[in-house]
Amino acid sequence: MSIAATSQNSGPEHDAQQSPPLLWPRISLVTPVFNSAKYIEQTIQSVLSQNYPNLEYIIVDGGSTDGTIDIIRQYQDRLTSWISEPDNGMYDALNKGFARTTGEIMGWISATDQYHVGGLAVVGSVFRDLPQVEWITGRATGFNEAGMTTVVLDVPHWSRFRFLAGANRYIQQESTFWRRSLWQRAGSRVDDSRRFAADFELWVRFFRHAQLYPVDALIGGFRAHGDSLGLQDMDRCHRIQQEMIEEELRSAPSRFWLRGFRGLSAAASRVPGIRGLWQRLVMNNLYRMPGPDWPPIIEHRDDVWLLRSR
């Protein structure tokens, strides 16, 4: 059974005092969901309460049976569209949703996670004001199961070289957005053949084409809860990520050096007396040490977004 609905609204209602929508790039946002009645309303509310004036918001449900659909229906007049039909998992649902979108800026929020107040305004204004930027991520943050913000990390550091070396593995999907042009160059889809870590695989492809810019602001956060697939089997996720990197290194620049470094790192991690020392002296420094491969930090000063060199 398939259910589909489309609203005549282009996005959530917004105050007349806000800037006209044409001054803001359209953000296309997708939420994949299956049997998440416990959390989905908080997720939807965190999106709609943004009052972002040019939002395209689509929910793709995999045929929930726990009351999720009833909750979605309560908000359907404020959604661009939603569908409910059997799918092959979260990443299949994302591809269905993104195929329906038209916005210049893209991202997704899972059915248990949330945005911070003003998070989408951060995203829209950064991409509006900095046309050279194709891909951003904010400060990584976390919510507890009750939805309280309990973790706010430092401004992240990112580069493709260090990512492939293994020094900065965790790009927070909830705080990450990109231009449609980058999505198209990277293949226009998430790898829906996977159950785990397809976001990581997407980042691998994005890094081939663009730098990831850190934004010194709060955008979205991950909710820690017992049903999280990633948290249930972190070791498996890490193994899959390692396989993805090894595949990428078959053609990546500096692949011979990177393979040698990763082999040394793997050997060090297997020795109890060396593992912690290697992490502190090598991996942590590789993550933190400034270099020409780091893009500038995007920060807000005097009501404008600026690029600050590290």
The pTM assigned to this predicted structure is 0.90
Q: How would you write the pLDDT of the chain (310 residues) with one tens digit per residue? A: 567 776 645 444 444 345 555 589 999 999 999 999 999 999 999 999 999 999 999 999 999 999 999 999 999 999 999 999 999 999 999 999 999 999 999 999 999 999 999 999 999 999 999 999 999 999 999 999 988 999 999 998 899 999 999 887 789 999 999 999 999 999 999 999 988 899 999 999 999 999 999 999 999 999 987 665 555 577 888 889 989 999 999 887 777 888 899 889 989 989 988 999 998 999 988 888 888 999 999 999 988 999 988 6
Q: Is 266 helix (H, G, I), strand (E, B) or coil?
A: helix
Cα–Cα distance for residue pair 170/190, rounded to 1 Å: 17
Inter-residue contact 281 to 275 (CB < 8 Å): no
Enclosing H/E stretch for 255: helix 255-269
Give the residue from 25, 26, 214, 217 showing the smallest Cα distance to 136: 214
Strand 135-137 to strand 213-214: parallel, antiparallel, or no bridges (unpaired)? parallel
